[in-house]
Structure 1
Amino acid sequence: MGGEDEAMKAVLNRLRRAQGQLAGVIAMIEAGRDCKDVVTQLAAVSRALDRAGFKIVATGMRQCLTAADGEAPPLTEAELEKLFLALA
């Protein structure tokens, strides 16, 4: 398994975890749980999604800097900056 495959596996794991956390947040709201508990869990979901996004962008940067095999056109610096700003 290559580095990119491992990175995407990690991203998928984070997204699945976030999906479970989000389902938990929905259940908490439906059950009328305390606002503080809901917000705490929602913040955890947000962090998980941010980390997944940053991992995807970092993997793309690594590919852009190291790929010379002609698979896909490399991202420009402006495109990479736009991706990072989309997560900010």
Structure 2
Amino acid sequence: MTDNSPARAACQDHGTTHTTSRYRSEHQRDVVNRLKRIEGQVRALIEMVEAGRPCEDIAQQMSAARKAMDKAFFRMMACSVMESVAVSDDETLREVERSTRILEKYA
């Protein structure tokens, strides 16, 4: 029996193809989009420093960029967790996804 759920559609594990490849693809797209936004934040930080903006303003933006990088990291790791869990039922898969989102949000 083949499980074709979206969450099982993308991750591949050393030659063993899981139905999670679409899931991995979505995560990769999400992580790339987040990194592009962070890239823009870093460019803006450079401009702030070059313009002589107050340290507190720069520190606030640095903090936001750091938090965005952390969220991108947790999002990226979600696919890795999904590969490691090797579950066969959708309910367990949804629970793992929910847990990774909680980590992303609050860690």
Q: Same fold (TM over 0.5)?
A: yes
| Higher normalized helix content (fraction of residues) | 1
Partner of 1:49: 69
Q: How many residues align?
A: 69
Q: TM-score, normalised by structure 2?
A: 0.59
Percent identity for Structure 1 against Structure 2: 35
Q: For residue 55 of structure 1, report the CA deviation from its aligned partner.
A: 1.0
Q: Which runs of structure 1 show a deviation greater than 3 angstroms over 4 or more consecutive aligned residues?
A: none
Give, in whole Å, the separation in 2 of the partners of 1:51 and 1:59. Answer: 14
Give, in whole Å, the separation in 1 of the partners of 2:29 and 2:49. Answer: 30
Q: TM-score, normalised by structure 1?
A: 0.70
**Bigger Rg, which one:** 2
- Which structure exhibits the higher relative contact order, with contacts defined as CA atoms closer than 8 Å and separated by 6 or more residues? 1
Q: For residue 34 of structure 1, report the CA deviation from its aligned partner.
A: 1.1
Q: Which runs of 5+ in 1 are unaligned?
A: 68-87
Q: Matched residue of 1:33: which SS? A: coil
Partner of 1:15: 35
CA offset digits 1:10-56 (Å, max 9, x no partner)? 10011000010001001100000011110111111101110111111
Q: For residue 58 of structure 1, report the CA deviation from its aligned partner.
A: 1.5
Q: Which runs of 5+ in 2 are unaligned?
A: 1-20, 88-106
CA offset digits 1:37-84 (Å, max 9, x no partner)? 1011111110111011111112101112138xxxxxxxxxxxxxxxxx
